[in-house]
Amino acid sequence: MREHPLVIACDEVGRGALAGPVAVGAVMIDARAARRRVPEGLRDSKLVAEARRPDVAARAASWVCADAVGWASAAEIDEVGIIRALGRAALRAIDALRAAGVAPEDGIVLLDGNHDYISPAGGSALTVLPRIKADRDCASAAAASVIAKVTRDAQMVQLHAEHPRYEWEHNKGYASPTHRAAIRECGLSPYHRASWAIADAPTLF
């Protein structure tokens, strides 16, 4: 990646949730930013304690040159499927970077995972490099991960106020026992992914 003047790292959060949007974080770093000290505690968001994530995300945002989060709603996931929704969310994040003055076509897009869902969604002009465990091994991808995680978690807390029975303030839309019990009792909200086999979803925590 050294031959590229900039790197845009992308990572998604909320892919396996039963409710709420999926979010893709995107950050841009250039050679100068890459030479700066990586913020203390920056790692894949799943490895950062929830109480520490906002502070780590703030330091990550200060370290990168630009950051953005793109979204795809539960209704959009139902309409086009999770993979296409991820691609759309990623392109929205990258477009937000473009609006901030970043030229994505001049660099490489480092995408956490083993599948390029960006190019088929309309990002064929971009150079996309999928990399397994990028959020673990690359500080830029970890920055995208934790920024997206904190941003999506905050949105799920806001949605909790509308539908407190599902306890999204705690489970963030994932398949906790209390979340599934509320679905059985109350049915689905407008923020649930109605096309998914939610009743049979495994409990994640």
Q: Given this model, what pLDDT does residue 41 score?
A: 76
Q: What is the pLDDT of residues 125-178, one digit of tens each?
A: 999 999 999 988 899 999 999 999 999 999 999 999 999 999 999 999 999 999
Q: Check: CB of residue 21 under 8 Å from CB of residue 176.
A: no
- Is 40's pLDDT higher than 80? no
Q: How far is CA 189 from the centre of its chain?
A: 22
Q: Given this model, what pLDDT does residue 205 score?
A: 38
Q: Given this model, what pLDDT does residue 155 score?
A: 97
Helices (H) and strands (E) in the chain, counts: 8, 5
Fold classification of 6-156 (topology level):
Nucleotidyltransferase; domain 5 (3.30.420)
**Cα torsion 109, 120, 198, 133: sign:** negative
Q: What angle do CA 167, 45, 137 make, to 5 degrees?
A: 155
The CA-based dihedral angle spanning residues 125, 80, 202, 52, taken in that order and rounded to the nearest 10 degrees: 50
- Is 202's pLDDT higher than 60? no
- Is 3's pLDDT higher than 80? no
Average pLDDT, whole number, for the chain? Answer: 91
